[in-house]
Structure 1
Amino acid sequence: MIVLGLETSCDETAAALVDGDRNILAEVVLSQFEEHRPYGGVVPEIAARGHLDHIDRLTAEVMKRARLPFDAIDGVAATTGPGLIGGVIVGVMTAKAIAAVHRKPFLAVNHLEGHALTARLTDDVAFPYLLLLVSGGHCQILAVEGVGRYRRLGTTIDDAAGEAFDKVAKMLGLGYPGGPAVQAAAEAGDPARFPFPRPMKGRPGCDFSFSGLKTSVRQMVEKLPPGPLAEQDKADLAAGFQAAVVESIADRVKRALREFRGSAFVVAGGVAANSALRARLTALSAEAGLPFIAPPLRLCTDNAAMIAWAGLEHLRLGRTDPLDTRPRPRWPLDPDAPKSRGAGAVKA
């Protein structure tokens, strides 16, 4: 069984072919970092236009690399939400066209499920397992009980961790994307110099909050002498912010590990590439006596291999989607979870 996957939910245009033996036959990811760098964040209209310009070429490229005709694939999967709706539409319409022309099943994949099931592609993790999904647009802790079966234990009540990294990087003049920029600056910094809060630490439940931490960084910056920030100030601010994020997430995860224990503890999403966070989560997992699984860095950020694999998991169970399936800007993995409360509702 072979599935073609397309990913266009944010600012990466990606295509990949994955088979049922967990092999990535071919993949390509085109980043739009340079297009969005002048704005310090993703501009939805620019992202959608970039996807439209490149999706056909990238799809043809993965088919060429795998040396496969479209007749050889068993299904076409595309991120159908959540995400920036303009970009999502580009990927969905492309996948539907391929499916219709070649008479293949269409598979509407939840982008978050792509992240959630990546550990099964890379490590063949057995259900159920505990997942920390931490990315630019999402921050959740989920009990992954099966394909299409997720129970949310915690979510952000305002901003996602990745968004906070991007905004702090912009405040400090570190550039875009913010996650790698903050991590690089933090390596030369003193995390104890600035007393940043640890949001939600010690509170009941497993929810997150990062909006107040961003505000605290801004207030610290404003207290420093006017003018451009000194390089050491940037490093210390970045180190302090990163330490606060890591400690806050670790506190929430520790609570979740007491509430749910599965076959493993898995971390996925772009922020999972942060080395300080990985080190802390590895220690927590060891304390809980669970295997710690983090996909390779290239599969933590947005990619099409995870979309193809999620589609394949559904296809193996006989689940396909009609060609009139609508793209969705919001699509919760656990639709029965209570709505988030607080300053800013969670997006998905």
Structure 2
Amino acid sequence: MNILAIESSCDDTSAAVLAPTGVLSNVIASQSIHIKFGGVVPELASRAHQTTISQTVAQALDESKLTLDAIDLVAVTQGPGLMGSLLVGLCFAKGLALANHIPLVGVNHMDAHIYANFIDESPSFPFICLTVSGGHTQLVHVKAPFEHEILGSTRDDAAGEAFDKIGKILGLSYPAGPVMDKLSKEGDAKFHKFPQALLKEGLDFSFSGLKTSALYYTQAKEDAWVQEHLNDICASVSEAITEVLIKKLKRAVQQTGVETIAIAGGVSANSMLRAKAKKMADTMSLNLHIPKLSYCTDNAAMIAITGKMKAELGEYADMNMKPFASL
């Protein structure tokens, strides 16, 4: 199948074309309007999607060298995400499918992060996937295609949310996660020991205490001192977050006995997390899968591969499909 996929769950408008030979295009239009607000403004996000979605889809088709006549399936994000943003993508996909008589499939955004690992590789079932993004932090036992058990999730802030909020405290621009990752490479991860919540308890996560600790820590210092030691603070925060993620992942592996692990979501692009995951996999003789960087953050290629897998199972949608913000 040649698959056209659309992703619009948050503040990135993306369209991709997946063919039997692989990903032919994966276009992402990011929204810079949210930077001055330090976070995503839902109303502005949905309006920006309306402005860019037509051009984004057209560019994806153009780069793939295919026309709509060659498309066999339209895959679109159904949720979770911002309701206004989801509606724009879903309505556009429905119109496209209806006008061109193309089958339609709805995709769970979190499923798509997991199955982004299948774009270039073929992980063996069962496996544990650590899914870490701005909105979610989950340990998922993937027993078979779309047969999932959530072993643990965050009780408050997600890992990506913690990075962004602490970055805002440090005066970094939004989104702060990639900036903190870059700065942490030049810093000392042992500079300050930030709290690692629930480290010895189960498989759930909690990052709100870390955020509060970082706030009090920096408020007690002069601004000039914070800027002087910015790299070290970023490295110490990254150490606290990634250490919890890896130790919980290790515990999930020990409890389930799987031999394969995967990491997905925007935070899976974090260099410290990737290095620790590789070290853990080597030490425990595990198979490790991490998507390449362009498939870690929100993108339509991951929607396409997941749509392909759903279509192969006969899980098509119809024009009554609705978006669900908390799918």
Answer whether TM exceeds 0.5 for this pair: yes
SS in 2 for 1:209: coil
Question: Hey, what does 1:28 align to over in structure 2?
Answer: 27
Instruction: Give the whole-Å Cα distance in 2 for the aligned partners of 1:229 and 1:215.
Output: 19
How many residue pairs were aligned? Answer: 327
C-alpha displacement at 1:319, in angstroms? Answer: 1.2
Instruction: Give the whole-Å Cα distance in 2 for the aligned partners of 1:90 and 1:296.
Output: 27
Match of 1:316 among 312, 317, 325: 312
Question: Hey, what does 2:293 align to over in structure 1?
Answer: 297
Question: Hey, what does 1:215 align to over in structure 2?
Answer: 212
8 Å Cα contact 1:257/1:288 also seen in 2 = no
Instruction: Give the whole-Å Cα distance in 2 for the aligned partners of 1:45 and 1:7.
Output: 17
Question: Hey, what does 1:336 align to over in structure 2?
Answer: none
C-alpha displacement at 1:263, in angstroms? Answer: 4.9
Match of 2:134 among 130, 136, 139: 136
8 Å Cα contact 2:78/2:90 also seen in 1 = yes
Question: Hey, what does 2:86 align to over in structure 1?
Answer: 88
C-alpha displacement at 1:234, in angstroms? Answer: 2.1
Seen in structure 2, the aligned counterparts of structure 1 residues 241 and 2 have a Cα distance that, compared at 3 Å, is same
> 1:2-52, CA deviations, whole angstroms, 9 ceiling, x for partnerless residues?
11100001111100011245x0022211111x2111111111111111111
Instruction: Give the whole-Å Cα distance in 2 for the aligned partners of 1:211 and 1:230.
Output: 21
Normalization by structure 1: what TM-score? 0.91
C-alpha displacement at 1:107, in angstroms? Answer: 0.6
Q: Establish whether residue 105 from structure 1 lines up as the match of residue 103 from structure 2.
A: yes
Question: Hey, what does 2:117 align to over in structure 1?
Answer: 119
Instruction: Give the whole-Å Cα distance in 2 for the aligned partners of 1:229 and 1:166.
Output: 21
Match of 1:178 among 173, 176, 179: 176
Residues 232-271 of structure 1: pairs in structure 2 closer than 5 A? 232-271=228-267
8 Å Cα contact 2:183/2:235 also seen in 1 = yes
- The one-letter code matched in structure 1 to 2:215 is R
C-alpha displacement at 1:229, in angstroms? Answer: 5.1
SS in 2 for 1:176: coil
Instruction: Give the whole-Å Cα distance in 1 for the aligned partners of 2:301 and 2:105.
Output: 14
- The one-letter code matched in structure 2 to 1:16 is A
Question: Hey, what does 2:166 align to over in structure 1?
Answer: 168
- The one-letter code matched in structure 2 to 1:191 is A
Mean CA deviation greater in 265-274 or 255-264: 255-264
Q: Establish whether residue 62 from structure 1 lines up as the match of residue 55 from structure 2.
A: no
Mean CA deviation greater in 5-14 or 68-77: 68-77
Seen in structure 2, the aligned counterparts of structure 1 residues 172 and 312 have a Cα distance that, compared at 3 Å, is same
Instruction: Give the whole-Å Cα distance in 2 for the aligned partners of 1:97 and 1:260.
Output: 44
RMSD: 1.4
8 Å Cα contact 1:165/1:178 also seen in 2 = yes
8 Å Cα contact 2:14/2:27 also seen in 1 = yes
Question: Hey, what does 1:284 align to over in structure 2?
Answer: 280
8 Å Cα contact 2:4/2:74 also seen in 1 = yes
Question: Hey, what does 1:17 align to over in structure 2?
Answer: 17
8 Å Cα contact 1:174/1:181 also seen in 2 = yes
Instruction: Give the whole-Å Cα distance in 1 for the aligned partners of 2:107 and 2:199.
Output: 34
- The one-letter code matched in structure 1 to 2:135 is G
Normalization by structure 2: what TM-score? 0.96
Instruction: Give the whole-Å Cα distance in 2 for the aligned partners of 1:54 and 1:45.
Output: 15
8 Å Cα contact 1:127/1:263 also seen in 2 = no
Seen in structure 2, the aligned counterparts of structure 1 residues 228 and 323 have a Cα distance that, compared at 3 Å, is farther
- The one-letter code matched in structure 2 to 1:195 is K
Instruction: Give the whole-Å Cα distance in 1 for the aligned partners of 2:9 and 2:309.
Output: 20
8 Å Cα contact 2:218/2:226 also seen in 1 = no
Q: Establish whether residue 40 from structure 1 lines up as the match of residue 56 from structure 2.
A: no
C-alpha displacement at 1:139, in angstroms? Answer: 0.5
Instruction: Give the whole-Å Cα distance in 2 for the aligned partners of 1:36 and 1:250.
Output: 31
Seen in structure 2, the aligned counterparts of structure 1 residues 86 and 250 have a Cα distance that, compared at 3 Å, is same
C-alpha displacement at 1:228, in angstroms? Answer: 5.1
Seen in structure 2, the aligned counterparts of structure 1 residues 300 and 113 have a Cα distance that, compared at 3 Å, is same
C-alpha displacement at 1:318, in angstroms? Answer: 1.3
C-alpha displacement at 1:224, in angstroms? Answer: 0.9
> 1:84-138, CA deviations, whole angstroms, 9 ceiling, x for partnerless residues?
1111111000101011111111111000111111111210223222101011111
SS in 2 for 1:122: coil
8 Å Cα contact 1:8/1:87 also seen in 2 = yes
C-alpha displacement at 1:183, in angstroms? Answer: 1.4
Instruction: Give the whole-Å Cα distance in 2 for the aligned partners of 1:19 and 1:128.
Output: 26
SS in 2 for 1:196: coil
Match of 1:158 among 156, 159, 165: 156
Instruction: Give the whole-Å Cα distance in 1 for the aligned partners of 2:73 and 2:97.
Output: 7
- The one-letter code matched in structure 1 to 2:160 is G
C-alpha displacement at 1:209, in angstroms? Answer: 0.6
8 Å Cα contact 1:76/1:105 also seen in 2 = yes
Instruction: Give the whole-Å Cα distance in 2 for the aligned partners of 1:91 and 1:200.
Output: 38
> 1:147-173, CA deviations, whole angstroms, 9 ceiling, x for partnerless residues?
221111111111100000000110001
